Structure 1
């Protein structure tokens, strides 16, 4: 029995035989040719076949993962007709008198390298797309067989990595799980796997493929990212029981899809999802969340080696808003500091960073960073239903300064002829006792409150939530915390402001009824908890 650990990208358990994915990486050699026109015609024919293949893949993706995630193949089709890409191939053939395969491979390397070196994450992702379409053209030029597995029955597909087109092209009915030695949780392939409801683990490591064999029995735990090859009888039995429990729970919850979040006495509530990046959007849609109650924008900063540009942020916010198709998306401005440190911010070492320069305090003391993010947010606001939420608020003056900067940014955009939505809601997080206590004064200034129970618990109980030794003193059900939440809810409603909870307590179904009786209007949880919370809401009777 051998164990491997990667990163789970779709939570489920799969048990079955391994099938190793065979890539047709035809070796491309440089060959001198006399008839360059013939080579260019070969490229043209290979591209026409590629267009037909991609159209078929796009149609399959539409059926299996929906329009949003099928768009990647529309991008591939457009890249086939890109003037710069095609001119490069023809120029290499003409000037170097080389074969079509070599010209396509060299162009692929050049363009992929160019995209990879860009600062914009959206543009960096195009490198993989260039390689994918180039490999397809080369396969068509060489007449190579389609990439495939050898399995005739359902199996665990193991590969070095998978391109988006390879993932979708596989027969879903024959795939138990995906396991890749490399890959990123932000990749299109990981997103597609999640949307296809297939257990997937990525980044298992270089040694994985060399140590497994076709037909080996394996267990894939998409929850923990663990892979067990040739499990013993006891392990196999334990995971079979875990798989059965998971499937039974999911089956029960799936019956709640499409149903309202409404109590037995008729009280309606919104159940939204918290996400840490664009790659989680599929999970939001899959679990039928009514919107996104917390989009943690700091992922753009944590994943970068320098400050993300306005364009990079704009593309990210635009994508999430478009993907949610008019459903509410609440994006929290950067919450850097405390347990989330980024070297290029150049923050000074603090004795107690949780009480230091973090979140909105960085934004207000370094307005150039704040303005860049706000410009990107307001520019993206025309593509959906946006709410902007500001963390770590402690005073009225902070909100006044925030609103003033927002107005200045909107005025700038207007003077530049750039559109933004006047319907963008402005909200604040209630995550400090100070904000809860003066919530009567803060409520008239904003459109909504969102309670961050993780920090509210930490600051109210004076307990560092990162310190495992203090864990026994952290009572998330402490009366003081619940009183602060209830006070905030009362003050919100007195001023016509809605209030939600986006901290971990929102998913605690033992408190669902308590929160609803307080008047909480929205609960935002991890995508996998959406249906569980919906179930708790629908079983609650507030008339008693």
Structure 2
């Protein structure tokens, strides 16, 4: 069995298969269907608002906004008047809506497609009476695809998720990780509904009918692994990448570990000429002073091959422009060395090699 981890964690509960029912297409008169749709829409909106009471989620806000969208509702009603069953009309209108979102280049719109599929499933389940399921014990939710509203609806009962498909960057995946819920994607379910499961998002294991010792062992092994990681952990440093003369927010200065790279060639691009030694001195001095005693690494002029100065293509590194622009190089190095005499946190890098 192929297994992919979407969210790590350890959970124990009984397997519950949530049927994502759709496409029943029950036929009723258009007049009755219009009334039923309005009732259904209001019921779904009400249930989404109820879920929002203890949830801070723009996903639910987005779904409510879609249902309240006048153009979307009119499209559904038009299809119902053309003798489409309610769920068929909703499915067709939603497919059209999704195509419009996918036609946009903006990744925000594309990221909302899964939320629309979620809304479609919710409406179908409400229409066919498969919502408002109550549990009095922990469950491992088993679905074809996990949608955010499932996590909202079964918030306290879900101890893990097993799905047939899923993506690491989906809203459902993000919510699962926020709640430390193990979430596995498998190609087959080797168990039946009601089977007690232990799923381990750290090891990809699914244990059927686990004993209490299995749960304790999984938790102990994970805690031990974390403690070992803590012993060998080396803290990372946050170094800024800067260019030009943009004003640096104090927050960045206070919360960073210094400047990992200041690209001085952007000073050239500001004037379309090499700046004077005095001007460079002021810029470098201010930078070193602001971050002192944190390191500030300033790279000497480094032009890529597609940039040219006075019609001459300059390759990367010092040697490429030193022969033709010796004065500019000497002025820059003089300014840097003078600043370094005052603030020894200033470091000079040339073509990816530190000079001082």
TM-score (norm: length of structure 2): 0.62
Within the candidate set 219, 223, 230, 2:198 is matched to 219
Map of 1:54 onto structure 2: 48
SS of the residue corresponding to residue 176 of structure 1 reads strand
Map of 2:131 onto structure 1: 146
Closer/same/farther in 2, CA of residues 88 and 496 from structure 1, 3 Å limit: farther
Map of 1:185 onto structure 2: 168
**Cα deviation, residue 47, structure 1:** 1.2
Q: Does structure 2 conserve the Cα–Cα contact (< 8 Å) formed by 1:32 and 1:98? A: no
Map of 1:84 onto structure 2: 71
Aligned-partner Cα distance in 2 for 1:222–1:445: 48
Map of 1:279 onto structure 2: none
Aligned-partner Cα distance in 2 for 1:110–1:121: 18
**Cα deviation, residue 41, structure 1:** 2.2
**Cα deviation, residue 24, structure 1:** 4.4
Deviation by residue 1:89-126 (Cα, 9 ceiling, x = unmatched)? 122123x2323222111111221233234332210122
Q: Which one has the bigger helix percentage?
A: 1
Closer/same/farther in 2, CA of residues 77 and 395 from structure 1, 3 Å limit: closer
TM-score (norm: length of structure 1): 0.42
**Cα deviation, residue 238, structure 1:** 7.0
Tell me which structure has the larger Cα radius of gyration: 2
Say which is worse superposed, 393-402 or 117-126, in terms of deviation.
393-402
Aligned-partner Cα distance in 1 for 2:205–2:269: 48
Q: How does 1:363-402 map to 2 (within 5 A)?
A: 396-400=263-267
SS of the residue corresponding to residue 25 of structure 1 reads coil
Closer/same/farther in 2, CA of residues 239 and 19 from structure 1, 3 Å limit: closer
Q: Does structure 2 conserve the Cα–Cα contact (< 8 Å) formed by 1:443 and 1:495? A: no
Closer/same/farther in 2, CA of residues 386 and 184 from structure 1, 3 Å limit: farther
Structure with the larger RCO, 1 or 2 (CA within 8 Å, 6+ apart): 2
Map of 2:186 onto structure 1: 205
Aligned-partner Cα distance in 2 for 1:50–1:148: 15
Deviation by residue 1:138-189 (Cα, 9 ceiling, x = unmatched)? 333x34121648x6422322222221111111041x3222222211121111
Map of 1:366 onto structure 2: none
Aligned-partner Cα distance in 2 for 1:6–1:21: 19
Within the candidate set 3, 8, 13, 1:5 is matched to 3
Q: Which runs of 5+ in 2 are unaligned?
A: 228-234, 273-283, 298-339, 347-356
Aligned residues: 280
Q: Does structure 2 conserve the Cα–Cα contact (< 8 Å) formed by 1:113 and 1:127? A: no
Q: Does structure 2 conserve the Cα–Cα contact (< 8 Å) formed by 1:161 and 1:183? A: yes
Q: Which runs of 5+ in 1 are unaligned?
A: 62-66, 252-271, 275-292, 295-329, 334-359, 361-373, 375-384, 406-439, 453-490, 498-544
Deviation by residue 1:23-67 (Cα, 9 ceiling, x = unmatched)? 24143327474xx34322222111111111000111132xxxxx3
Aligned-partner Cα distance in 1 for 2:102–2:295: 38
